[in-house]
Amino acid sequence: MTLSKQEMSNQNNLLLTEPTLHYGIDKKVMQLFEASSKSSSIEGKMDMQVATLVDDFLGEINANTDIKLDCLVEKFSNSKAPVDPSTFESYFNYLANNVVAHSIHTSSPRFIGHMTSALPSFVGPLAKLMTAMNQNAVKIETAKALSFYEREALAMMHRLIYNFSDNFYTQYIQNSQSTLGILVSGGTVANITALWCARNASLGAKYGFSGVEKEGLAAALDFYGYKGAVIIGSDLMHYSFDKAADFLGIGTHSLIRVSTDCNNRVNIKELRQTVADCRAKKLHIIAIVGIAGTTDSGGVDSLKDIAEIAQDANVHFHVDAAWGGPLIFSEQHRHKLAGIEQADSVTIDGHKQLYLPMGIGMVFLRDPHLAKAIEKQASYTMREGSFDLGKRALEGSRPGMALFLHAGLNLIGLKGYEFLIDEGIRKTQYMADRIRAMPEFELLAEPDINLLIYRYIPESLRGLSSRNQLSETDNQLIDQLNERLQKNQRQAGRTFISRTTKKTTCFGTEISILALRAVIANPLTTEDDIDAVLNDQIHIAREWGMGNRE
């Protein structure tokens, strides 16, 4: 039988739409999906392989692996995706040897240089549950109970910050027209969201003008008679504010960074003056930012004073409490956040001092209607009046991370969080005391909370240093030593401390010096671990002859 061209083409089309063309692949793939409907042997085997990996990984005491980056560059240089599926056994082995083996032991009690720490044991099982449930928190139709559950968890946090009346929470906790808080992927998105709300609300629709949201920034400034728009905070503002200023169209030059005092708190007098200057120059102030725990050194601004300035100027007051927010749990340390309850918006990160997995940022809003300023809708979802959480958010589809937040509040509880916060600060004081007592180190600021900056001083300069007589050249030498020390320590991998820069006044001129930076948040970190980290640094410095330089 011969076929016409047309018939052949038809037959080809038929063949192409037949699933059997996928020679054997169909079975392999379907097996992966069918397994997900029950704890079958495949998933059970995967679980076992992963459990071994996890145990080995979490059992490590070293902070780091000593593999060189060049070596990793080589390991991961394949740009061709595999044609056929691998077996999970071989892929998980590959993962174990190439990725897990050379990952950072963020849970190590001697990894005390960044804001990443050991997590409570419930996060693993909940991660599995969240993934299996695969809810999309953007809308009710893909996240039913979760939408209300998320609002409840956010209301609990809101209440800790603002402590409004029972009546207030009854009215707003599940009111679809209101937003007490927005769950986002991280502190950066939280800060950006807060400033987005502030910009849109302060340059809103009025007298026939449709507002900045619709008409854009240039038209809004024009309509309101401003020459420009600014955001004001301290020079220790997180880099997410640079992103926000860039993003929102005001430009990073319009992010005004007021200087800080020796303990890393914004200079209130200068801040007040800056606000007055901006008003005199007809610059619209989108927001004044207070910081509760700078990323650099943990400094907490005097939020009460900033609140007063913002209130006097009738300007949005945002608090970046991504790190320090959870001090609210501590009876002993809560007073450091005094004034936060006057903030129009507050950022807190769940993956920092709430000890939850990466990917949980939150922004809380004093006015439950503020987020209306950023509301968006679509015809296939997020209709007005609905309970869809995605209506007032930067992000669209997002996972049910509320599971971790709500669980943390319940499984750790207010008292548990209080204990964790108190312990971190107590151990930081211990470390500060040790540093003060050791001739090898110099403490660079009194720690407000649980971040600490210090540096190593070579033996030959300790005399000058203790008499505050270091020259600029001496400081440069110390900077070089400390940078080398931090890099060598990181590379050796036994312990870990990060580094940053700190402005300091030296012989009348302000100079920037390199600082070693400790973050004491891991509940597993003991005083012995802190000693071990400091001794490791002394050991490394001696090994390199840094102690006896010159």
Task: Give the one residue of 7, 8, 9, 101 binding a copy of itself; rule: CB under 8 A.
Answer: 101
Amino acid identity for residue 531 in this structure = D
Part in contact with a copy of itself (CB under 8 A); list of ranges 40-48, 280-288, 305-313, 434-442: 40-48
What is the Cα–Cα distance from 373 to 377, expressed in whole angstroms?
12
Smallest separation, CB 461 to a copy of itself (Å): 23
Length of the chain, in residues: 550
Residue 538 in contact with a copy of itself, rule: CB under 8 A: no
What is the Cα–Cα distance from 361 to 189, expressed in whole angstroms?
7
Q: Cα angle at 546 between 445 and 466, to 5 degrees?
A: 40
Dihedral, 349, 354, 358, 359 alpha carbons, nearest 10: -40
CB atoms within 10 A of CB 426: 13
**CA distances for 437 relative to 426, 430, 443, 487, angstroms:** 17, 11, 10, 24
Say how many CA atoms lie within 13 Å of 503 toward its Cβ: 13
**Nearest to a copy of itself of 40, 177 (CB atom):** 40
What is the Cα–Cα distance from 352 to 106, expressed in whole angstroms?
12
Task: Give the one residue of 112, 119, 348, 532 binding a copy of itself; rule: CB under 8 A.
Answer: 119
Which residues lie below 8 Å from residue 159, measured CB to CB, with a gap of 6+? 169
Task: Give the one residue of 8, 125, 528, 548 binding a copy of itself; rule: CB under 8 A.
Answer: 125
Window 2 to 21, contacts with a copy of itself (CB under 8 A): 16-17, 19, 21
Residue 57 in contact with a copy of itself, rule: CB under 8 A: yes
Smallest separation, CB 10 to a copy of itself (Å): 14
**CA distances for 513 relative to 108, 176, 387, 444, 526, angstroms:** 28, 50, 51, 10, 29
Residue 380 in contact with a copy of itself, rule: CB under 8 A: yes
Q: Would you call 389 helix, strand, or coil by DSSP?
A: helix
Smallest separation, CB 464 to a copy of itself (Å): 25
| Site map 289..328 versus a copy of itself, x via CB under 8 A | ------xx--------------------------------
Task: Give the one residue of 156, 348, 520, 541 binding a copy of itself; rule: CB under 8 A.
Answer: 156
Task: Give the one residue of 3, 8, 133, 262 binding a copy of itself; rule: CB under 8 A.
Answer: 133
Task: Give the one residue of 3, 129, 276, 464 binding a copy of itself; rule: CB under 8 A.
Answer: 129
- Of 172, 232, 138, 193, the C-alpha closest to 345 is 193
Residue 170 in contact with a copy of itself, rule: CB under 8 A: yes
| Site map 70..89 versus a copy of itself, x via CB under 8 A | --xx-xxxxxxxxxxxx-x-
What is the Cα–Cα distance from 500 to 516, expressed in whole angstroms?
6
Window 396 to 425, contacts with a copy of itself (CB under 8 A): 396-400, 403, 407, 409-416, 418-420, 422-423
**Nearest to a copy of itself of 169, 309 (CB atom):** 169
Residue 533 in contact with a copy of itself, rule: CB under 8 A: no
Residue 32 in contact with a copy of itself, rule: CB under 8 A: yes
Part in contact with a copy of itself (CB under 8 A); list of ranges 99-107, 312-320, 364-372, 472-480: 99-107
Using CB under 8 A, count the residues that bind a copy of itself. 196
Window 341 to 360, contacts with a copy of itself (CB under 8 A): 349, 351, 355, 357-359
Task: Give the one residue of 110, 112, 143, 274 binding a copy of itself; rule: CB under 8 A.
Answer: 143
Residue 135 near residue 399, CB atoms below 8 Å: yes
Residue 204 in contact with a copy of itself, rule: CB under 8 A: no
> Interhelix angle for 527-543 vs 472-492, to 10°?
110
**CA distances for 18 relative to 8, 208, 273, 377, 544, angstroms:** 15, 59, 74, 39, 68
Residue 157 in contact with a copy of itself, rule: CB under 8 A: yes
**CA distances for 409 relative to 161, 349, 354, 355, angstroms:** 14, 14, 9, 10
What are the helix (H) ranges across 452-517? 462-466, 472-492
Smallest separation, CB 230 to a copy of itself (Å): 10
Window 420 to 459, contacts with a copy of itself (CB under 8 A): 420, 422-423, 426, 429
Part in contact with a copy of itself (CB under 8 A); list of ranges 308-316, 434-442, 495-503, 527-535: 495-503
Residue 496 in contact with a copy of itself, rule: CB under 8 A: yes
Part in contact with a copy of itself (CB under 8 A); list of ranges 36-44, 265-273, 312-320, 462-470: 36-44
Task: Give the one residue of 62, 102, 209, 544 binding a copy of itself; rule: CB under 8 A.
Answer: 102
**Nearest to a copy of itself of 305, 536 (CB atom):** 536
What are the helix (H) ranges across 393-460? 402-411, 413-437
Task: Give the one residue of 8, 9, 253, 507 binding a copy of itself; rule: CB under 8 A.
Answer: 253
Q: What is the distance, to the nearest Å, from the Cα of residue 74 to the centroid of all Cα atoms in its chain?
A: 30
Residue 429 tokens, joined:
């004081």
Burial class (CB in 10 A: 0-12, 13-18, 19+), 417: buried
**Nearest to a copy of itself of 386, 460 (CB atom):** 386
